[in-house]
Chains A and B, each alone.
Chain A
Amino acid sequence: MEFAELIKTPRADNVVLHRPFYPAVEGTLCLTGHHLILSSRRQDNSEELWLLHSNIDSIEKRFVGSLGTIIIKCKDLRIIQLDIPGMEECLNIASSIEALSTLDSVTLMYPFFYRPMFEVVEDGWHSFLPEREFELLSSVTNEWRLSYVNKEFSVCPSYPPAVTVPKSIDDEALRRVATFRHGGRFPVLSYYHKKNGMVMMRSSQPLTGTNGRRCKEDSALINATLRAGKRGYIIDTRSLNVAQQARAKGGGFEQEVQYPQWRRIHKSVERYNILQESLIKLVEACNDQSHNMDRWLSKLEASNWLTHIKEILTAACLAAQCIDREGASVLVHGTEGTDSTLQITSLAQIILDPRCRTIRGFEALIEREWLQAGHPFQQRCAQSAYSNSKQKWESPVFFLFLDCVWQTLRQFPCSFEFNGHFLIMLFENAYASQFGTFLGNNESERCKLKLPQKTMSLWSWVNQPYELSKFKNPLFEANSLVIWPSVAPQSLQLWEGVFLRWNRSSKFLDEACEEMNNIIEYNKELQAKVNALRRQLAELETDDGMQESS
């Protein structure tokens, strides 16, 4: 298919652009295969808009006489308006945008066409290979092995080719366990707590069904992670009720009789389109500035967004507590083990592991616990807050995870190497990007799409020193401790940087932030200068120094 077929009117003059915080500007609108471009043709070229079609969540058109208006709602929550003279032009442009922003085929997406303007120093596709992660693990324990049982993606289509499993369990057993777990997602290692050797594993639900099917390899696999005489915890991210109902559909949960060494805890975390609806409601509430206080608070409440944040953080704290405080190993799963499970396992690691709070460590975490673990990004992030499609698979699972990280970052502002902008950047790229990182639903799809060969990795761009400098937290001081966030409603806050970003000017806050950075920079500079002088004085004191300077 040629993009030209979809672009009926490639350009229109005298288009007026309205966008947050800027005065309306008139210019020429151009449509390309992947971008919507507005250029004002002013000398300074500053009045330009480049918008990825894939960032467009929904559009609306209105007409007053022959003047058409297109309202474009973006996945990054921004809303812009284009006034286009001429009804035909307007209709053509609207239908082109609609078609171009909802392309079916992944291979037509921008990442396949994007050519980087920077030199790739480190290819992000190879930055976080499972082998590298496993090397780190083997330096502290030898109880685990890297299994390639899923090399052809035949045992579990949503797992990567290499997974970490207990050394004592062979590939044959893994194959059998896979048949006992939803989607073949047998329990694998998610995190090893160096401090006490306890582990966190994740999987999908066991397929016990109504007649209590069992699998002795399954219990052998998870029992292999327990110390003699110790019990472990299974954290089921569904309520007991939901878990019981799952049995009717062939799913289920671990019964005490078959897993006597494990204690099961149900910690319900919401999933699917309930979350999407929550996001839609929240954004709707934030976008209406005219709400009086009561209405705003009741809309905020009705969105349930912060309730979900609290639920997820509470479950993550529980998992972390079992490992760090109780000294027990943990298995986390829900139904498929691709959504709430990953929220819990990844947040628990942020709480427990200082490495995950560094930039590279956090990137590795996303790579490991989200991309390789098979979170279906393409389905989940197909649409954002302005979606009308109500598809069950669309869900801001990753977005919620980022919000939870932001809440934790706010409570421990010196313990993270990255800042809030880093999280916002990840949010934007998960929904629309020139990079291939978040394309596809799992490693198998990415492999078939040949993403590493045909597209650029987000990490290749982010990890350049200049780009990184924008995402660094100047207050960062490595904190080797476990950090326990407060989940009291008084401690949770609306993520203003995302939800109010386009609704109110942050000029004064940004300036204050800059001043803060200046103080920190100045402090470093002064310390360095004072220390240098002191060193020079010390040199003077020695005879050599005296002779040199004389």
Chain B
Amino acid sequence: MEHIRTTKVEQVKLIDRFSTSNKSLMGTLYLTATHLLFIDSSQKETWILHHHIATVEKLALTTSGCPLVIQCKNFRVVHFIVPRERDCHDIYNSLLQLSKPASYNELYAFSYNPKQNESKRLQGWQLIDLAEEYKRMGVPNSNWQLSDANRDYEICDSYPRELYVPRTASKPVIVGSSKFRSKGRFPVLSYYHRDKEAAICRCSQPLSGFSARCLEDENMLHAISIANPAHHYMYVMDTRPKLNAMANRAAGKGYENEDNYANIRFQFVGIENIHVMRSSLQKLLEVSGTKALSVNSFLSGLENSGWLRHIKAVLDAAIFLAKAVAVENATVLVHCSDGWDRTSQVCSLGSLLLDSHYRTIRGFMVLIEKDWISFGHKFSDRCGQLDGDPKEISPVFTQFLEGVWHLTEQFPQAFEYNEAFLLQIHEHVHSCQFGNFLGNCQKEREELKLKEKTYSLWPFLLDEQKKYLNPLYNRDFSQKLVLLEPNTASFNFKFWRNMYHQFDRTMHPRQSVFNLIMTMSEQNKQLEKDFKELEAFHHYSNLKIRELGCGGRMSLERCLFKIWLGFVRTRIDPTGDGSAYHGPQHAHSVTTTRRFLYSPLNWYLASLL
């Protein structure tokens, strides 16, 4: 709180950044410990989490006040005009401090309290269990085993404790190999394909320099290769451009020499490094944020940013990987420099193409936990969670999500989750509201005691699962198709408007087919239930009427029945015009009453009266 210099400023204008007529909303700006809040004159609230703020800029004073531009990590851009420069300056300085916390314990996750009891909180952390996941894949088995080499983070502090390696790889081989790999990240199992007995393994670059060799590392690769019984060669994918890999040799790092490793097929893929990606995104945002943008400046800006080229490169690499496994039954070892950025992208997207489990909501959570969180993608550095080196920030994970989005566009029925799910995960990777993405590796997370002090994101997403379900999802679709083979001709790649213009409402279709279908599909479930109940009720009523018989005499029982019938009917259909069926929510509340009233038992009890 000590950073907050002013908590409330009135008469602030919020400017629509794309409106050419400088449309604006007048309102009041509030600064809380965690959020910046703007309430406009129509009481509409705009909440901005401090952690979401990427940059704050104070522009030159104008006649109407002092402009303050805030760019967020979720691509929201807000443009305020604060009447007094003094206030603007205070907010500006406060936000500078608040958006760049110096230590982890200042992050929102440590103060976020959803009022959940402790056991539920702990259960939440147990929702995703990676040991379970490896079991699902089919390991350990006769070729792969769990290694205890890193049980106490003794050989690689950015890896998880539990690692799967070939049975034939002895401890000295593992230790030797890890010494020959950048940051000790030796080759380990990322995904095991049960049917093909082929594996996806991951590691960092070898410290080969111009000529260095390491027998243990060579043995390690050999062990991986022979863990695939059907195969006599394996791929080694270096996801970097060849030039970068070669340059690394001068620093004593580099790539595998095919002559030194038995039966490997070495392949460069050419995905650019984090710095290129960072500036690419920056260029993309500059272009898409331009007011009164022409089509040609947009397209040439899109081209110059290189963004879609990078996305295509990542997807192409994933396809190469998946095809090697599914078509050639080959094992593939993937690495880049440190093996936590490009390697995570390619391994996770490759697995997603191979295994339909990762196209389910839970499966996708597992995939992120495995290839991103546990294998030490440096979320804290890449997302700039703390005040640190801005050169470490890079949209590597965003690119992964965009790759997935492109797949959902090409295979609309293959995914259980929808775009909103991807957007929500992106939101929380940056929000620091949940513990999952804090820190850079598992070891750091344990030291931060995240499982004791914070909440896991996944149970919250599962709770609101309905919002993230793809109504077109077809489970059988995935069974028919062993491997998703997306078309990566350039024309398939589109600008992801719903990500980069999430908050710019005027740019989106005014009616969403997707939302409509989602609502309808929800409603269908409800209608099916209603229909069954109504049918049973109708059937029962008919029987009852027959039983009561006709004739002129109005028996007490018949009177009762009629009264009850009318009562039930007005409850089901209060307006009498069927409007109860227009919204699933309303229909829901009606059903609860009905369930009681329909029950033949209840009617029987009533008839005894």
Residues of A whose CB lies within 8 Å of any CB of B are 285-286, 289, 291-298, 300-301, 304, 306-307, 309-310, 410-415, 475, 483, 486, 488-494, 500, 503-505, 508-509, 511-512, 515-516, 519-520, 522-523, 526-527, 529-531, 533-534, 536-538, 540-541, 546-547, 549-550
Contacts and interface: CB of A to CB of B under 8 A. Distances in A.
Contacts of B513: 413-414, 475, 516
A309 B296 CA distance: 12
Interface string B477-512: 000000000010111111101000100001111111
B413 A508 contact: yes
B510 A483 contact: yes
Nearest to B412: A512
B537 A412 contact: no
Contact of B541 (A289, A291, A412, A540): A540
- Size band of the B side of the interface? 35 or more
Contacts of B541: 537, 540
A291 B489 CA distance: 8
Interface in B517-560: 517, 520-521, 523-524, 527-528, 530-531, 534-535, 537-538, 541-542, 545-546, 548-550, 558
Contact of A413 (B511, B520, B538): B511
B550 A547 contact: yes
Contact of B490 (A296, A309, A490): A296
B565 A540 contact: yes
Interface string B298-313: 1110110010110010
Contacts of B605: none
Contact of A306 (B18, B295, B413, B576): B295
A505 B472 CA distance: 19
Nearest to B484: A508
A298 B541 CA distance: 70
Contact of B565 (A414, A492, A526, A537): A537
Contacts of A492: 295
A522 B412 contact: no
Contact of A515 (B294, B306, B474, B530): B474
Contact of A549 (B303, B542, B578): B542
B490 A292 contact: yes
Contact of B507 (A307, A491, A505): A491
B472 A488 contact: no
Contacts of B293: 488-490
B287 to A, nearest CB: 9
Given A519-B517, A531-B581, 15 more contacts: A293-B309, A295-B490, A297-B308, A298-B303, A300-B299, A301-B295, A306-B295, A488-B18, A489-B295, A491-B507, A508-B411, A509-B410, A523-B523, A534-B573, A541-B566
B306 to A, nearest CB: 8
A526 B531 contact: yes
A297 to B, nearest CB: 4
Contacts of B542: 540, 549
A486 B293 CA distance: 12
Contacts of B410: 508-509
Nearest to A515: B472
Contacts of A520: 517, 520
B397 to A, nearest CB: 21
A304 B520 CA distance: 39
A519 B507 contact: no
A493 B509 CA distance: 12
Nearest to B307: A293
Contacts of A488: 18, 293, 506-507
B23 interface: no
A509 B477 CA distance: 13
B288 interface: yes
B18 A530 contact: no
Contact of B527 (A523, A536, A540, A541): A523
B354 interface: no
Given A292-B490, A475-B516, A310 B309 contact: no
Contacts of A285: 491
A382 B297 CA distance: 33
A491 B550 CA distance: 67
B377 to A, nearest CB: 25
B309 to A, nearest CB: 4
Contacts of A475: 513, 516
B565 to A, nearest CB: 5
A503 B510 CA distance: 29
Contacts of A412: 509-511
